[in-house]
Amino acid sequence: MGDLFETGATVAQGRYRIEGLLGGGGMAQVYRAHDERLARTVALKAMRADLPHDPGWTARFRREAQAMAALSHPNVVAVHDTGEEPGPGGGAPVPFIVMELIPGRSLADHLRERGPLPVAEALDLAAQMLAALAAAHARGLVHRDIKPANVLLTGDGTAKVADFGIAATAETGATALTRTGTAIGTPPYMSPEQVEGQRGVDGRSDLYSLGIVLFQMLAGRVPFEADSGYAIGYLHVHAEPPTLASAGIGVPAPVQGLLTTALAKRPEDRFPDAATMRAAALAAARSHPPTDVVRISALAVEPTRPVRAAPPPEGSLQGALRGALRTLGTRPRPSRKTVKFLLLVLSYLLGWLIVSLTFSGGHPPVRVNLALGLAGIACVWFGGANRRRRITGPITLLYELLTAVAWLFHVVAVLISGIYLLAKP
């Protein structure tokens, strides 16, 4: 930033005195400053002066200031002032925004320290963010970058949504950085329509992003993870989101239903607006006590069984059959991998038998046995062992493709052998 916003410097003709750097990113940095005129501490967000001048970035800052200044809501960071400071060495002016200073930290920092949050706390924070979004959407503003880093938490637990830098008007979808077919947002939290660069993105896109944040607050991770933004975008568009149960989190049905609706692929299948989703979040909160996260693996209590009729006498035939079935039911079940392997072995033996009969009871050629064996091994390896691992990115697509090809090859080999057998005179 050079010396423009160094500690002790003043901007806006001496009104704001810089007290130190709070944080920042690739485009802007946020400083702690003192408003000399009103005697209060504020946060001053300024564009990096060392970036190449781009009128689009300046317009983005102005849009953010206008969007946030238009919202007067307890769950939205308040904007006090905006302006431009002459650039160093007579360069292009550097825009800045003066906002209220939140005495706390971001939700991202909170999650890094705490991990999964209690269900009641997560739903309360989600309801507060939805209240902010309802106010923004009522003014035709779509945030389009809802994520934990853009949610600030005060000491009393109030959540405040910040950073409307890429907000768009719902009527036109216009923003300083938007071009047709360009995806705007942060990949792990983008809606499918954002990934595809669709025009006319509305408030339901923010609801999808908030559903991602809620999943992260409950599970300790986002639902879609991959090794590149492109791969994450592909999952947003094509993959079904995992349930909380698959992440080892036990929650009431209304909580999972809330997430399922919010993370629907099509906007028309989500909640119609933020107010409706907030009402659902508050209703789900009433269904769960304010306790810590309950993990499925920690549930030691046997599920409640329905009331049944009195068992038959032990000496009767019916009682003996019931006891035998009960004994069989208590035996350990084989794993899914074992079952898949046995089915594949049986499928291979069936194929080998059909081919053997096709060759008049003689042994089939070695290449037939080899083809069936390789297909079976591929099915076991790709369809059984590796499907249990968490593989992300393009590798996932490769495993899915190999699994499908292996199964198809195996089934086709068996079917062709059967056709030859039936057609043989």
Whether residue 313 contacts residue 353, with contact meaning beta carbons closer than 8 Å, is answered with: no
Can you read off the two tokens belonging to residue 338?
Answer: 């074992």
For residue 244, give the nearest of 116, 397, 108, 107 by alpha carbon.
116
For residue 235, give the nearest of 400, 402, 404, 4 by alpha carbon.
400
The DSSP bridge partners found for residue 31 are 21, 44
Can you read off the two tokens belonging to residue 329?
Answer: 């039911």
How far, CA to CA in Å, does 58 sit from each of 95, 167, 330, 421? 7, 14, 69, 75
Catalytic option among 35, 81, 124, 145: 145
Could you give phi then psi for residue 249, rounded to 5 degrees? -110, 125
Alpha helices in 27-154 (DSSP H): 55-69, 107-114, 119-138
H or E element in which residue 215 lies: helix 203-219
3-state secondary structure of 300: coil
How far, CA to CA in Å, does 367 sit from each of 9, 161, 212, 231, 377? 81, 65, 50, 38, 15
Whether residue 359 contacts residue 394, with contact meaning beta carbons closer than 8 Å, is answered with: no
CA 147 – CA 309 distance, rounded (Å): 53
Is 227 in the active site? Answer: no
The residues that are catalytic are 145
